[in-house]
Structure 1
Amino acid sequence: MLKRTVAILFILLSYSSSSFAQKAEADTVLIKELKQYPKKNILPVRRPVLFPEILSPIQSPNLIVKVNYWRNLTQFGINVNQASFSDNWGAGGVNSLAMGGQFSYKTDYTKTDKNFASELILQYGKLKNKDQLSRKTADRIFWDNKIALKLSKSWYFFGSINFESQFDVGYSFSKDAKGNEKRTLLSKFMAPGYLTESLGFEYKPVKHFFVRIGTGTARQTFVLDTALYRTNPKNFGVTPGKTFRNELAFQVVSSYDKEIAKNLILKSRYAMFANYEKLSRIDNRLDVTLTANVNKLINVSLSGILLYDDDSDNKMQASQTMAFGLVYKLAN
């Protein structure tokens, strides 16, 4: 009886474990089927064609294409300075009014190995202090023209012509024995006037800088007022009674014009003129202008000039001006 009972229990346990195993296997298969991800690249994808389509040129008899090789910049501005004080102003002062204007025009033509550049600068300013004679603060006519032929990457053969003079009469001021102010005539329009022609080589590695070496340079000095020597004995090197003087010389001219910082422009020009007949006395002139653009219409400029010309004075001459005013630019 005992043996029969044990056999029945063994049979029941075997059946139970077999059923449990089959159920566990079925659950595992179901889980695997649920965990399967969709197969990749189920849908076909068409790859783009990377070959560009070649377009035929436009055939139109009415189409005219022009290339502008000219670059132009026009600029003009005006400066006004005024000061006034009451009669009992403790710190002292003098009523004054100063006005000045400037016009400049630059043009450049560059095509293949040929270049033409021209620059015109007109400046004039006047200052009037109370109980004093009026004085000039600026007075200049400057016109420079150059034609160049490219020889290599940075070297050119050039020919240039330059004109320089002033608009108004110029005076020196002093006081007589009674303390009254008096003035002495020094210069006027075309007294002096300079016309300079030069041939040589130009080094221009970048757009904002160049050096011209004029091995063959001629300068004509004009003093059309033949009586000017009476108040200006040097007469700008022209023989008294004559109106013209010609010189042959070696000349070096360099220029730098670049925005050195945002809205800050540095412009400088140096000119050396060495007369072949008196190389020991070389004329030098340096012009430097630093301009800060406040906005499109307002700027502040600081200018300085150093000049040595023994036909004008035996010492170094210097001038400095600072201006705040309106300026308008037109470029194309």
Structure 2
Amino acid sequence: MKHLLLIGVIITSAAGLHAQDKTIQNLQTEGSKNIKKDAADTAKKTWKTGGLFSINASQASLSNWSAGGDDFSMALTAYLNGYAFYKHGKHYWDNTLDINFGYVNTTSLGARKNDDRVDYLTKYGYELNSKLSLATLFNFRTQMLRGYTYDKDVKTFASTFLAPAYVTLSLGIDYRPVKNLSIFVSPVSSRWIIVKDDSLSARGIYGVDTGKHSINEMGAYVTVNYSAKLNDIVTYKGRLDLFSNYKHNPQNVDLYMTNLFAVKLSRVLSATWSLDLIYDDDTKLFGPDKNSAGLQMKSVIGAGLLVKF
């Protein structure tokens, strides 16, 4: 009988130890499992933000230089681009802000700006399919400081903040055939040209009647936006705006185009080339009689600091 009791105790103890081993093994297995993320943790971000800042500077001094030239010259150009893109389901909202400024100072010419632009573009869209959307667009464009035209030794006041300024409101179709390319087409757009300064308004320039501070135009509007990394060191950002005024000479299409190429030289250094083209049928400041429209072109090449954020 004693032997039977002893055998029973041994079997019971072994079974208990086996159960404990099983419990420990189960705890180890559960502890080694990866915790599965909740669906909210893996959801795509609704906002994408960032930008680009570039500043280029150059300075030269001459003393007893037989080949001639200005005794002193300095040039500074700066560019800031910021963006905020929202995407949720079929809804998206794109925002971009571009600020350009250029300054040059020489002994013979004095100080003057050679670039000045503030350009804000916002667009809300609702996707009909993967490439086509219904969208509404708002664009505001002006400059920050007073600008002048120079004819020989004559300096003429030509622009300042809100003089001129261009405000465009459009409703249309947004077509995105490939990544980073957007083609917005609107058959019905409203554009306001603002000349806030009294002295510029009195001259009746930029298409605004003499003494008036603004004019409204109805027309067709197209804007094409494209940005891409062309290779490991070269990036490109461009925009083309076309506007036809239904009320006045619709065949004379206004053009506004910006191009920026950035070549990465090192982690923070780069070379940049910006090329801007503008044709506005209402800006009649050119030609022999200074009363004609013309293609405006601005090209700026520089090397300096480039920071992406």
State TM-score, norm by structure 1.
Answer: 0.76
Confirm whether residue 90 of structure 1 aligns to residue 66 of structure 2: yes
Supply the distance in 2 between the matched residues of 1:165 and 1:216 (Cα, whole angstroms).
23
Mapping for residues 281-296 of structure 1, pairs under 5 Å: 281-296=252-267
Q: CA deviation at 1:316?
A: 1.2
Gaps in structure 1 of 5+ consecutive residues = 1-52, 176-180
Gaps in structure 2 of 5+ consecutive residues = 1-29, 285-292
Partner of 2:23: none
Q: CA deviation at 1:322?
A: 0.4
Q: CA deviation at 1:74?
A: 2.4
Mapping for residues 197-212 of structure 1, pairs under 5 Å: 197-212=169-184
Confirm whether residue 133 of structure 1 aligns to residue 119 of structure 2: no
**Paired residue secondary structure (1:134):** strand
Q: CA deviation at 1:57?
A: 7.5
Supply the distance in 2 between the matched residues of 1:273 and 1:59 (Cα, whole angstroms).
50
Deviates more, 1:197-206 or 1:96-105: 96-105
Residue by residue over 1:193-214, the C-alpha shift from the partner in whole angstroms, topping out at 9 and shown as x without a partner, is 1111010001101221111001
Aligned partner letter, 2:66: G
Q: 1:321 aligns with which of 294, 300, 303?
A: 300
Partner of 2:79: 102
Confirm whether residue 301 of structure 1 aligns to residue 277 of structure 2: no
Supply the distance in 1 between the matched residues of 2:117 and 2:211 (Cα, whole angstroms).
25
% same residue: 27
Partner of 1:155: 132
Partner of 2:236: 266
Partner of 1:182: 154
Q: Residue 226 of structure 1 contacts residue 240 of structure 1 at CA under 8 Å; is this kept in 2? A: no
Residue by residue over 1:212-239, the C-alpha shift from the partner in whole angstroms, topping out at 9 and shown as x without a partner, is 0012210111101122155xx4511111
Aligned partner letter, 2:168: T
Aligned partner letter, 2:189: T
Q: CA deviation at 1:190?
A: 0.4
**Paired residue secondary structure (1:261):** coil
Partner of 1:312: 283
Q: CA deviation at 1:92?
A: 2.1
Q: 1:65 aligns with which of 41, 57, 65?
A: 41
> How many residues are matched?
267
Q: 1:244 aligns with which of 197, 202, 214?
A: 214
Q: Residue 204 of structure 2 contacts residue 211 of structure 2 at CA under 8 Å; is this kept in 1? A: no
Supply the distance in 1 between the matched residues of 2:34 and 2:256 (Cα, whole angstroms).
59
Q: CA deviation at 1:56?
A: 10
**Paired residue secondary structure (1:268):** strand
Runs of 4+ residues over 3 Å off in structure 1: 55-60
**Paired residue secondary structure (1:227):** helix
Distance change (3 Å), C-alpha of 1:196 and 1:86 = same
Q: Residue 234 of structure 1 contacts residue 311 of structure 1 at CA under 8 Å; is this kept in 2? A: no
Q: Residue 201 of structure 2 contacts residue 208 of structure 2 at CA under 8 Å; is this kept in 1? A: no
Partner of 1:18: none
Larger radius of gyration: 1
Supply the distance in 2 between the matched residues of 1:59 and 1:283 (Cα, whole angstroms).
53
Aligned-residue CA RMSD (Å) = 2.1
Q: Residue 56 of structure 2 contacts residue 304 of structure 2 at CA under 8 Å; is this kept in 1? A: yes
Residue by residue over 1:174-199, the C-alpha shift from the partner in whole angstroms, topping out at 9 and shown as x without a partner, is 33xxxxx3311011110001111010
Residue by residue over 1:264-318, the C-alpha shift from the partner in whole angstroms, topping out at 9 and shown as x without a partner, is 0122111000011121221012211211011221111111111110111311111
Q: Residue 234 of structure 1 contacts residue 312 of structure 1 at CA under 8 Å; is this kept in 2? A: no
**Paired residue secondary structure (2:206):** helix
Q: Residue 201 of structure 2 contacts residue 213 of structure 2 at CA under 8 Å; is this kept in 1? A: no
Supply the distance in 2 between the matched residues of 1:226 and 1:234 (Cα, whole angstroms).
10
Aligned partner letter, 1:236: Y
